[in-house]
Structure 1
């Protein structure tokens, strides 16, 4: 093999993880939730499109319908969607069987779990779930099953052969919404079918900082010769500029968009909820090129796809020492384990934090997990936390999408910090209804009124201001509202100065100003600096 020149992965090179040609959001990755989403969400969307492609085209022509279940097939057209549907039915047989078997277990419990022993029911479990579930009652004698998730990942339902990384040399400017449309093959898009856990992805993404022989890497990835031009187009001779260092004695926060914030001292770096855009997408924002070469920790606040981005995490796997995630409830359908999932995806040091657990990730940086109320449509979901980061004597609270339903909770946690230097709080105060995300996982549909009342929403201005007062926050930042234009295909939102969310952010700034507290809406890009405190 001839040794070729070494080049760098372009800062604009985009890499989207796909499962069955759909963007790999968390509830599609896990075997049991992925099976139900495949049957209850993906197949109906594809079939609905093929029944009336013109209706989907009409809906997509109206910006008000962006974020709905409407397929944009691009150049592939209806023939491409037909081919995808046929391939999904064929290649997704095991997952679809698992979805049917989950229903069978629930029906078995409905018929026979009337308060007596559940032991006789184990012999009636479908084969795909034998050894993978425990049948249980809660303390009101309602029956359910608990999944042994590590064992589910070993079954054929999670076969990694359906995992693809789809590359473009630059991010697409106008992508369809990821919950509503698949990513179909097209010219200029290079699809590489290899498990997300493969260490070869680490070798590829490390090339953002350290050059590689692209042709040799293509051989290791077993790419077809005719794809080599598209692969080498992802690389450049230009060395990356070094990330700007933090001055000694300072603490810096950098806002990368949505809920992604980097907290740095001169010797440590912690990244929260990384959902990070690429260079050359038409907007002047921080990108992966602005991250330090090493991250002491990545912190995931909760399981939603705008906070847990596999697309970003895969690119950081080789440069991250530790990933901190909230502790799961232990096997419930609606609450998969992030630690289990990340372990299967090839991440090596994943630590779970329960309420008020603290972990020191560097000499001068500590992360504390505070309770998280609201935003999950009243479901029993425990894989969520409000991270509090103490860095060089400064303290920052990342209240992402919470709703402070019980303010006294925050009175009880004030002893976890000396002074709260900044509160970052999500003001997505409208939110989607329960079924928008969790519909495929529900045993029966919620009544329309209940579905609308149980929303995936965060705080409004009054709630955020109350929280800031109770926690004596010295500065307030509104964020995590899905406004950044380069994230529209992931969040389904865009900046609208007349939207309720943006209006509430203005009200919050006004409320804080009346109390003499600086406040602002974080949008596109922001950086702030504090002096370290002994």
Structure 2
């Protein structure tokens, strides 16, 4: 039974999953054009395959070699519900599916008819539903292409907020959840689904309650919790206040590693959170971790390095939205299908405090300067501009460099950067050097299937040992931390990564850490949690 008119706290291990058509939301599902491609060429394909042969999916999910593959994780069951979702998607997303077909038609038309002559006459051959949304162009090698006016797409019927919803659940025990790119979220006795658009301020009001108690009945009634789910909703709350956050008050610098690529940098005057991916608290676990309760009540700057689902985790960002003062993102491309505009995406889901940075552009404050640096590779050689490394300069000239998943395939670029920025004190370096092939993430955007050998040569990969140690040589850090490896158990449902001691990223990062230590540089591959004060 609920407690009448009593202020209560939301438990720290309550998770929110933003959903689109009942699939776990990530930026390519929010942006209209990429959403159209993923709905058709990821969601519908996976569901159709499951409906035809659920036993193959059940076997594949249990095979470690198939981790992260396009297999639904319902143990071969719930076929009727998947079929119902499949049909509902076809019915409700007719416009979007037609939009996808028009994109393919436009691509084919340009290949056939754009031969280096003026494109003016081809505008009449653009599919009707795309007319007014696209500009045709040639690159300097006379290859034809098109770009979207994305702001118009967000104002059209192809951006459907009605497809957005959220689910609430308690994360407990082993952190396990089904892989987000391949398993839709069906109804479950442990889930509460709510038809709320992501921009709803009710999400903010709910998640403020993790720290600030509020009236339970008010939030229950405002959210429209059904009578049959009142007991479950009640279990999400507690009368016990969380531990108070201890603000960093020293005159130095504190860094806290929260898992994967998420790092909090604090001084007594500023807080900076990079690529927020926050775990949950309130249950027994074998892996120590920091959680939302280990963050400041207000975060001055959130830095986003690039537009991949493990670096823009909407699950975390929606929970933190009410406490984020500013989000810094890489300046986005201008309407190319593969590179949707991040600022538009954030704005349309309720973030009004977004700042774009270009390469070598800085935000300067009294005691801090944040500079965006070039980010190489990790995007399968596709023309994607929405990516930045970050150089953070704090008081007393203390410098931290976050390279994230950037792959140092051309050290000359970072040598030129070093000539401008100088040495750094700390280097955070990603070394997931066996990344997935191009098609794993970008496959739905391709108009033609890429040959397997070409696909597997173009990886979503970070630095190997040689590339990583080159960065160490260039920037001369006092501390080197290998991160962004997807090692933590609470990341597996996002990254699908599970290493052994023989896995190449482990072998290569061990080699780098040992080489740094041999040179007298403090080095470590991070896992779980880590705090260092300087």
Does residue 374 of structure 2 align to residue 371 of structure 1?
yes
2:182 equivalent in structure 1: 180
Aligned: 1:225 with 2:265: no
SS in 2 for 1:144: strand
The residue that corresponds to 1:477 in the other structure is 481
CA distance in 1, matches of 2:516, 2:74: 46
Q: Which residue is equivalent to 2:360? A: 356
Q: What TM-score, normalized by structure 1, do the two folds share?
A: 0.96
Distance in 2 separating the partners of 1:236 and 1:495: 37
- Partner Cα separation in structure 2 for residue 343 and residue 129 of structure 1: 23
Corresponding residue for 2:442? Answer: 438
1:346 to 347, 350, 366: 350
In the alignment, what sits opposite 2:78? 77
Query: What is the alpha-carbon distance in structure 2 between the residues aligned to residue 123 and residue 381 of structure 1?
Result: 29
Check whether the contact 1:485–1:495 (CA below 8 A) recurs between aligned residues. Answer: no
Q: Is 472-481 or 416-425 further displaced after alignment?
A: 416-425
Residues in 2 aligned to 1:424 and 1:206: alpha-carbon distance in whole angstroms? 31
- Secondary structure in 1 matching 2:100: helix
Q: Tell which deviates more after alignment, 2-11 or 435-444.
A: 2-11
- The CA distance in 2 between the partners of 1:167 and 1:416, in whole Å, is 47
Counterpart for residue 308 of structure 2: 304
Alignment-derived partner of residue 154 in structure 2: 153
Describe the superposition over 1:386-409 as per-residue Cα deviations: whole angstroms up to 9, x where unpaired: 011112231111111111111111
Corresponding residue for residue 249 of structure 1? 251
Report what 2:19 is aligned to. 18
2:450 alignment partner, SS class: coil
Other structure's SS at 1:250 match: coil
Query: Within 1, Cα distance between the matches of 2:315 and 2:182?
Result: 18
Displacement, 1:319? 0.7
Contact 1:76 1:186 survives alignment (8 Å): no
Offset of residue 381 of structure 1: 0.5
Q: Deviations over 1:304-352 (max 9, x none)?
A: 1110111111111111111000011211111111111101111011011
Partner of 1:65: 66
Pick closer, same or farther for the CA change 1:416–1:74 going to 2, 3 Å.
farther
> 1: distance between equivalents of 2:50 and 2:289?
36
**How far 1:498 sits from its partner (Å)?**
2.5
**Given the two structures, how large is their TM-score scaled by the length of structure 2?**
0.96
- Tell me the CA shift for residue 145 of structure 1: 0.9
Deviation, 1:354, is 0.3
SS of structure 2 residue aligned to 1:35: helix
Q: Can you list the C-alpha shifts for 1:117-164, whole angstroms capped at 9, x where unaligned?
A: 222332333343222111111112221111111111122222111111
8 Å CA contact retained: 1:163, 1:195: yes
Rounded to whole Å, the distance in 1 between the matches of 2:73 and 2:463 is 33
Larger displacement relative to structure 2 (486-495 or 304-313): 486-495
The Cα of 1:49 is off from its aligned counterpart by: 0.9
Q: Partners of 2:450 and 2:67 in 1: how far apart?
A: 24
SS at match of 1:165: strand
C-alpha distance in 2 between matches for 1:288 and 1:498:
33
Match of 2:394 in 1: 391
SS in 1 for 2:336: coil
Q: Is the 8 A contact 1:73 1:184 kept in 2?
A: no
User: 1:17 aligns to what SS in structure 2?
Assistant: strand
1:495 Cα deviation after fit: 4.3
Contact 1:73 1:81 in 2 (8 A): no
SS at match of 2:296: coil
Q: For residues 16-35 of structure 1, give each alpha carbon's deviation from its aligned partner in whole angstroms, at most 9, with x where no partner exists.
A: 11111111122122110110
| 1:185-222 deviation per Cα after TM superposition (whole angstroms, max 9, x unaligned) | 11010001110011111111111121111221232223
SS in 1 for 2:339: coil
Cα separation, 1, equivalents of 2:420 and 2:18: 38
Q: Residue 270 of structure 1: SS of its match in structure 2? A: strand
Report the number of matched residues.
528
Tell me the residue number matched to 1:5. 6
Equivalent residue for 1:381, pick from 381, 384, 390: 384
Q: Distance in 1 between matches of 2:249 and 2:475?
A: 29
Give, in whole Å, the separation in 2 of the partners of 1:250 and 1:494: 36
**C-alpha distance in structure 2 between counterparts of 1:338 and 1:45, whole Å:** 27
Counterparts of 1:26-65 in structure 2, within 5 Å, are 26-65=27-66
Instruction: Give the structure 2 partner of residue 264 of structure 1.
Output: 266
Q: Whole-Å Cα distance in 2 between the matches of residues 127 and 411 of structure 1?
A: 49
* Deviations 1:437-484, CA, capped at 9 Å, x for gaps: 111111222222111111110001221111111111111000111110
Q: Which runs of 5+ in 2 are unaligned?
A: none
User: Distance between the aligned counterparts of 1:477 and 1:56, measured in 2?
Assistant: 38
Q: Distance in 1 between matches of 2:482 and 2:165?
A: 35
Partner of 1:93: 94
Q: Partners in 2 of 1:280 and 1:183 — Cα distance?
A: 24
